[in-house]
């Protein structure tokens, strides 16, 4: 699958506030699906699992099964790829522009 298609899946996954909240919860370490569902109440477990499936499809979450438990791990690499491709260049240009404005104002 192409890099553009992968980034499209990442952007679609990040479009949901619930999914972004799930990723925030996973920044501190892996959590079970049950723990995530409890944290996101009043959403039911099925809805949380659907959101996790979208995140897994975008490669933002990796799943490890331990017995009956499903542990969800954050995979930050797709977010870094989006940052490197989209945010890094734009931020660099903006910072350069702000530095020029600052220099002009100080002279």
Query: pLDDT tens, 36-63?
Result: 999 999 999 999 999 999 999 999 999 9
Question: CB of 92 within 8 A of CB of 54?
Answer: no
Provide the pairing of β-strand 61-66 with 31-32. unpaired
Token duo for residue 9: 């899946």
- CATH classification (class only), 3-75: mainly alpha
**31-32: strand order across its sheet:** 31-32, 69-74, 61-66
Model confidence over 79-103: pLDDT tens digits? 999 888 888 777 878 878 888 888 8
Query: Hey, CA dihedral for 52, 56, 61, 65, is it positive or negative?
Result: positive
- Rounded to two decimals, the pTM is 0.81
- Cite the beta strand spans of the chain per DSSP E: 31-32, 61-66, 69-74
């Amino acid at each position: 699958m192409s890099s553009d298609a992968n980034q499209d899946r990442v952007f679609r996954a990040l479009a949901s506030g619930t999914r972004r909240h799930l990723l925030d919860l996973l920044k501190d370490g892996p959590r079970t699906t049950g723990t995530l569902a409890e944290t996101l109440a009043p959403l039911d477990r099925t809805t949380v699992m659907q959101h996790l499936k979208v995140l897994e499809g975008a490669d933002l979450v990796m799943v490890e099964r331990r017995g009956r438990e499903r542990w969800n791990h954050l995979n930050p690499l797709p977010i870094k790829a989006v940052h490197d491709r989209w945010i890094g260049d734009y931020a660099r240009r903006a910072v350069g522009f702000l530095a020029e404005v600052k220099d002009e104002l100080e002279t």
